[in-house]
Structure 1
């Protein structure tokens, strides 16, 4: 991934966070600069947490013959979302884990929509 791709991913994530903070899913972001910081932290946390959690879930994933791999990936995404929200002042999950679950789904959906437009 080169610098331009990284910049585009950051802009799409920040824009997606701003959009989902406007719908009533329990995700709140105070300002546009906080959305950019949150997107950067979310990316950094994902880069750190996903390989570690991938190792943790490797055995259950293997034992279920990858039938539940989508579920484990989703759990990792929700955990990443919660960690990022706890690290950034001004990025809140009002309903706790439920906001993280709905927010992770909404972030994925909105990001995919934006990527399809560009």
Structure 2
């Protein structure tokens, strides 16, 4: 449970970092970043697998590159649902989701080492 809370806080911080380094993404506060991180995680858990399955032929033809578009759509959809978290347009969602995904991989890797059961 502690790992989940720490991951949520770090992903919210990652969203603030994305907004800081890329002007196409705006986050009004840390609370808004926490809400956005939660909604993005929820969308990635519930909606993304369905979209991946439905777009499997396109994903295969593009050798997996279409998954970037699906990630950008999840990022953009979260911005449409929430106040305090905004994305200028779909291109900004693509860039923002790429930065956020890289930070998410780094966070996940660090947490695996920190919370390992060795």
TM-score class, shorter-chain normalisation, is: 0.7 to 0.9
SS in 2 for 1:22: helix
Root-mean-square deviation (Å): 1.9
Q: 1:100 Cα shift?
A: 0.2
- The equivalent residue for 2:115 is none
Could you report, residue by residue, the CA deviation over 1:79-104 in whole angstroms, capped at 9, with x for unpaired residues?
Answer: 1001111111010112x011101101
Cα pair 2:7 2:107 within 8 Å, conserved: no
- The equivalent residue for 1:22 is 20
Q: 1:29 Cα shift?
A: 0.4
Corresponding position: 1:85 with 2:83:
no
Q: Alpha carbons of 1:103 and 1:44: their partners in 2 closer, same or farther (altered >3 Å)? A: same
Cα pair 2:59 2:67 within 8 Å, conserved: no
Corresponding position: 1:111 with 2:104:
yes
Q: Alpha carbons of 1:72 and 1:24: their partners in 2 closer, same or farther (altered >3 Å)? A: closer
List alignment gaps of at least 5 residues for structure 1: none
**How many residues of Structure 1 are paired with residues of Structure 2 in the alignment?**
111
**TM-score, normalised with respect to structure 2:** 0.81
List alignment gaps of at least 5 residues for structure 2: 112-118
SS in 2 for 1:92: strand
Could you report, residue by residue, the CA deviation over 1:50-70 in whole angstroms, capped at 9, with x for unpaired residues?
Answer: 1110111123345x3xx612x
State the distance in 1 between where 2:47 and 2:93 align.
16
Q: 1:74 Cα shift?
A: 1.0
